[in-house]
Amino acid sequence: MQQYRNTQDIYAKRRKQLLSRVDRGIVWINSAGDSFDSGHCRNVEYLTGVRSPAACLILAPQGILIEGIAHPGHLWCTDEGAEYGRGKLVTEALFVEQPHDRFRGTVVQRRLPSLEQVRAATGMQNVYDLAVMDEVLREALMNQEVLWVNTSKIPDLNKPVPPDVVRINAIKERYYWLQVKNIANQIHAMRLVKDAYEIECLRKAYLITQEVIETLMRTIRPGDNEARVVGIFHQEVKSRIDEGDNADIGIAFGPIVTSGKRASTNDHWDSNGTIQDGEIILIDCGISYNGYSSDISRAWPVNGKFTPRQREVYSVVYEGQKRGLEAFRPGGTCAQARAIVFDYYQQHGLERFGLGRNCHPVGLNTEDAYYFGYGDYPSFQPNEVWAFEPMLMMPDESMGIRLEDGVLITETGHELFPAPPSDPDSVEALCQRKIPAA
């Protein structure tokens, strides 16, 4: 878990906003569920700042009683706090993992923040051991009619039921009168529109990613292995870990590095091939800053000079992206941006080489607020942040080109977040300023 100064009010405001969308029942948000792209669900983090795969948040608009959980079976005990046995109604309670008694104080027990530390970091007073959550939930549900649960990812029908859904089904069996609803869509709708803190973190994440990719563009030479690119990327990110005031910098995903014909399909992303002279290298990567993730793709000639055909195709992607960005304004849509790019590719006879799903929101997840699944999103609103990534994949010509940037929707249009230059002339100029060999 990592928490940052001056953000407690931000998280409290989000919880209050979510509660305003719920008129009755109990909201049970579990971080153990699957996320949109990978890892654990980030909705608990979005509402509390607690970054943990083992945390739960209960919100109750009408309030719930929390009694006796420090001394199960002895509800008369009141020595653990004012809420125990004294009828205190609470509207929010956070449950976090604590060290297991069997390993407490030993070297094998991983370090976990204490309940006092979590209270201090989050500003939430009602923070308890995750081990007592079931008891609180069991008592709280008895007189409820609605349970809001947190299912962030579209379930796979042809795979085993995931553990978090198994648990929901077990609750439904025992509390058969409950109406179960999904709160994830409400949270994801909130996550689409970023506040000033989120925008600041994303801008910084994109700036660091720009710096790292530009280092790679100046460094990599023909004959290098794609794995070396991955190694330098990791080294560059690690060297920035202590940057900023209380900054938490890490790798959001990737990097996915590929070149030549391998870059022209989506099934050769193992990043372990040799980059040949005359090939285009493609990278797709993201860096997180305080939990918020960038997403940038770039393609460049490893020898620093496009061939005439490479420049021709690259310029089509570059111009297509520029035209598609015209749709990124309040009231515009992803569908409009896709149509603009497709029409431009069609003018050049390249439409069959372009992949259609080329924009998605970014935030805590690389693919953020993914509550519309594989359908389309509604019209853009100010303060949303999107990744826009037109591409051409041409295996017959051993070429894959993708240009992806972060786009902030403003009141009147859009702003591009920091990224390496993408016009062909600037790409060549940057690549030719090589770092001398060691």
Asked whether residue 56 is domain-assigned, the answer is yes
| Rounded-to-integer distance, Cα 52 and Cα 117, Å | 14
User: How do residues 289-320 score in pLDDT, each as one tens digit?
Assistant: 999 999 999 999 999 999 999 999 999 999 99
Asked whether residue 135 is domain-assigned, the answer is yes
Asked whether residue 29 is domain-assigned, the answer is yes
pLDDT of residue 37: 54
| pLDDT at 17 > cutoff 80 | yes
| pLDDT at 397 > cutoff 50 | yes
Enter the tokens of residue 270: 């193992």
User: How do residues 88-142 score in pLDDT, each as one tens digit?
Assistant: 788 999 999 887 655 555 555 557 888 899 999 899 989 998 988 888 888 889 8
Question: What range defines the domain where residue 118 resides?
Answer: 8-191
% of the chain residues with pLDDT over 70: 84
pLDDT of residue 136: 87
- Identify the band that residue 155 occupies on the pLDDT scale cut at 50, 70 and 90: confident
15 shares a domain with 114: yes
Q: What is the mean pLDDT of residues 26-32?
A: 87
User: How do residues 197-220 score in pLDDT, each as one tens digit?
Assistant: 999 999 999 999 999 999 999 999
Asked whether residue 253 is domain-assigned, the answer is yes
pTM over 0.85: yes
Supply the CATH number for residue 161's domain: 3.40.350.10
**Amino acid, single-letter form, for residue 236:** E
396 shares a domain with 255: yes
- Identify the band that residue 3 occupies on the pLDDT scale cut at 50, 70 and 90: very low
pLDDT of residue 6: 63
Average pLDDT, the chain: 86
171 shares a domain with 43: yes
Q: What is the mean pLDDT of residues 67-76?
A: 49
Write down which residue in 160, 191, 222 finishes a domain. 191
Asked whether residue 3 is domain-assigned, the answer is no
| pLDDT at 394 > cutoff 70 | yes
166 shares a domain with 228: no
Supply the CATH number for residue 404's domain: 3.90.230.10
pLDDT of residue 428: 96
Write down which residue in 168, 191, 214 finishes a domain. 191
Range with lowest mean pLDDT among 36-45, 193-202, 275-284, 426-435: 36-45
359 shares a domain with 235: yes
149 shares a domain with 292: no
Which residues fall within 8 angstroms of residue 69, CB to CB, at 6 or more apart? Answer: 84, 128, 132, 135, 136
Asked whether residue 1 is domain-assigned, the answer is no
| Rounded-to-integer distance, Cα 330 and Cα 158, Å | 38
284 shares a domain with 207: yes
Asked whether residue 23 is domain-assigned, the answer is yes
pLDDT of residue 82: 45
Query: Which of 409 and 368 is assigned the larger pLDDT?
Result: 409
415 shares a domain with 282: yes
Domain count, the chain: 2
pLDDT of residue 89: 80
User: How do residues 244-291 score in pLDDT, each as one tens digit?
Assistant: 555 689 999 989 999 999 998 866 668 889 999 999 999 999 999 999
Query: Which of 111 and 238 is assigned the larger pLDDT?
Result: 238
Q: What is the mean pLDDT of residues 68-83?
A: 48
- Identify the band that residue 71 occupies on the pLDDT scale cut at 50, 70 and 90: very low
pLDDT of residue 84: 46
Write down which residue in 139, 160, 191 finishes a domain. 191
Go through 361-389 and write b for each residue having 16 or more CB atoms within 10 A of its CB, e for each that does not. Answer: bbbbbbbbbbbbeeeebeebeebbbbbbb
242 shares a domain with 134: no
Asked whether residue 346 is domain-assigned, the answer is yes
197 shares a domain with 129: no
Q: What is the mean pLDDT of residues 44-59?
A: 91
18 shares a domain with 121: yes
168 shares a domain with 40: yes
- Identify the band that residue 351 occupies on the pLDDT scale cut at 50, 70 and 90: very high
Look at the block and give the residue holding tokens 């809420």.
Answer: 83
